[in-house]
Structure 1
Amino acid sequence: MARLSAVLATTHHPFYLKATQLTPPEERMPQAAEWQQKVESYRETLTAADPDILVMVGADHFHQFFSDNYPTFLIGKQPRYDATFYNEEREFGIPPYLLEGHEDLSGYMLQGLLDRGFDFSVSHELKIDHSIICPIITTRPDADLPIVPIYTNIFAPPLPSPKRFWDLGRAIRSIIDEYPSDARIAAVGSGHLSLELGGPRQFGETGPDPVFDRKAIDWLASGDIDAILENVTHESMAGAGNATHGFMDLILMMGIAGPIEASYVDELDLFHTREMYMTWYPEGDPR
């Protein structure tokens, strides 16, 4: 059977590459060096897990799905995936990528999810945006491992519940554990803490709700799903910032890991957001 070697949950800031490497040193933001150091330290948590395949969790930022037809949950099943969209290249400096897919695991996971009551959509023409490319840049910049991309709806109401994201994570974990292979699989997913996009709280010195951020990180780090399900609702996330619903993808990642303590936790306050980097090792810390 396959082995789940690591689960990583991270925020995805599209300006990371531009802020730390593509901008001349004298023009970089004050936090650039610290940000790069934190990302490179976080990268080592995936390298230490020595994965063969990456299950990547993210959300499409209305690049190919829209309010009139936005799948609740979707899995890609194709030999390779193009990235990046033009506006991401133009605005963020994210380069184009061609990522190898793992069609066998995609097919096995799709059937397993259907069998567990998750009616997934499937795409054979999926293009990857920065919710997955940003974690590739930060944790696996060589982009040398095959991926299984999973997209969730965190943007277009009506949205699934936080409990549904947790349950999906548990289902993905059981499928990985049953996958008939000796592959080492790591799951890497990105989402948000409190986040405001286009609203009055966007341009603060931190995320719009530092109290929510502190609680959210502590809940995830301790594996406290009971506290999350008791306190996190669509309404409470909207109160923390109009784009905070991306936190549900971080709940999903904790679902893959299980209700266990994280082995690695780091964070950084940046302009208008708090970055978070978290890793669980279900089989024990290989470091």
Structure 2
Amino acid sequence: MVAGDHLNQWFMDNMPQFLIGKAQRATGPFPHERDAFGLEDYDVEIEGALARHLLNKGVEGHFDLSYSNEFTIDHGFVVPLSLLRPEQDTPVIPLFTNVMVPPIPPGRRFHELGLAVRELIETFDADTRVAVVTSGHMTNSIGSPTMLSFAQQPLTDWDKSTWHRLHHGDIDELVAESTFEHLYSFGNGTPGFLDYIFALGMVGERRPDWSELTYGPTQLPTGFLEWNEQTLNGGAR
């Protein structure tokens, strides 16, 4: 499970770029998020063997991933997990990404990390089925004067063109353009889109098997995309 931390625990004085949570369990959300998002507590086992594999083999390869045994999963993790597995019975591995505080890795690095994580999962010896879920968003602006403009026109031209690229597997230019500065120009929260770029690194140019873009006056644009196992294992591109 890949998501950014929203300055709830990683802050200006301690901001890892990419961090794996490898404690025995992942719990959340933060107390203030229970009321803000109407969330229940989530407490789930962590798949420790695969987490250690990602860390150890990642260091041997191209990514020096950070790790921590002390963390809380915030709404970026808890919202999708609660919808996908309300039973809280499927082990997870939280992978925190820095999409909040510069310096933020460019889209190229998120894309490379997605590719690396896929390769590491494929070299894991255990007979384990793995689903990768990334949690991000399209244009977004929080606590700034532009919040009103998003309420009046939630779907921007950037959202429309980006959604077309995502849906049709046209990603090379999208990855190259996805720098912090470029994304920030569309709203101070838009760098959260970098977690989409991570997903594109995992799937390559394969088109999604299912997709839906939702938005409204009280809901910022959110794009949902799914690639099934057959597509990922060499299906239609």
Distance 1:128 1:229 in 2: 27
Contact (CA 8 Å) 2:18, 2:98: kept in 1 or not?
yes
Distance 1:267 1:97 in 2: 27
Match of 1:103 in 2: 48
SS at match of 1:240: coil
Distance 2:172 2:152 in 1: 27
Distance 1:175 1:222 in 2: 26
Query: C-alpha displacement at 1:250, in angstroms?
Result: 0.6
Query: C-alpha displacement at 1:251, in angstroms?
Result: 0.5
Distance 1:217 1:175 in 2: 28
After superposition, the Cα gap between the structure-2 partners of 1:80 and 1:132, relative to the gap in structure 1 and judged at 3 Å, is: same
Match of 1:261 in 2: 207
Task: Tell me the alpha carbon deviations over residues 98-151 of structure 1, each in whole angstroms, 9 at most, x when there is no partner.
Answer: 111110000001112112221111111221111111111222222220001100
Runs ≥4 in structure 1, deviation > 6 angstroms?
none
Q: 2:172 aligns with which of 206, 210, 226?
A: 226
Task: Tell me the alpha carbon deviations over residues 208-257 of structure 1, each in whole angstroms, 9 at most, x when there is no partner.
Answer: 56111112222222222212134333222111111100010110011112
Distance 1:117 1:177 in 2: 16
* TM-score (norm. length: structure 2): 0.91
Q: Tell me, yes or no, if structure 1 residue 88 matches structure 2 residue 33.
A: yes
* TM-score (norm. length: structure 1): 0.76
Match of 1:161 in 2: 106
Q: How does 1:143-222 map to 2 (within 5 A)?
A: 143-203=88-148, 204-205=150-151, 210-222=156-168
Distance 2:170 2:15 in 1: 30
Distance 1:280 1:92 in 2: 27
- Alpha-carbon RMSD across the aligned residues, in angstroms, is 1.7
Match of 1:279 in 2: 226
Query: C-alpha displacement at 1:281, in angstroms?
Result: 2.1
SS at match of 1:276: strand
Q: Tell me, yes or no, if structure 1 residue 125 matches structure 2 residue 58.
A: no
Distance 1:208 1:156 in 2: 24
Distance 2:222 2:66 in 1: 30
Contact (CA 8 Å) 1:196, 1:208: kept in 2 or not?
no
Task: Tell me the alpha carbon deviations over residues 42-75 of structure 1, each in whole angstroms, 9 at most, x when there is no partner.
Answer: xxxxxxxxxxxxxx00111111111111101100
| Runs (5+) with no aligned partner, structure 1 | 1-55
Distance 1:229 1:133 in 2: 27
Aligned length: 230
What letter corresponds to residue 187 of structure 2 in structure 1?
Answer: G
Distance 1:131 1:234 in 2: 19
After superposition, the Cα gap between the structure-2 partners of 1:161 and 1:207, relative to the gap in structure 1 and judged at 3 Å, is: farther
Q: Tell me, yes or no, if structure 1 residue 244 matches structure 2 residue 190.
A: yes
| Runs (5+) with no aligned partner, structure 2 | none
Distance 2:219 2:147 in 1: 6
For CA contacts below 8 A with separation 6 or more, give which structure has more relative contact order: 1
Which has the larger displacement, 94-103 or 138-147? 138-147
Distance 1:139 1:223 in 2: 25
Contact (CA 8 Å) 1:195, 1:272: kept in 2 or not?
no
What letter corresponds to residue 248 of structure 1 in structure 2?
Answer: L
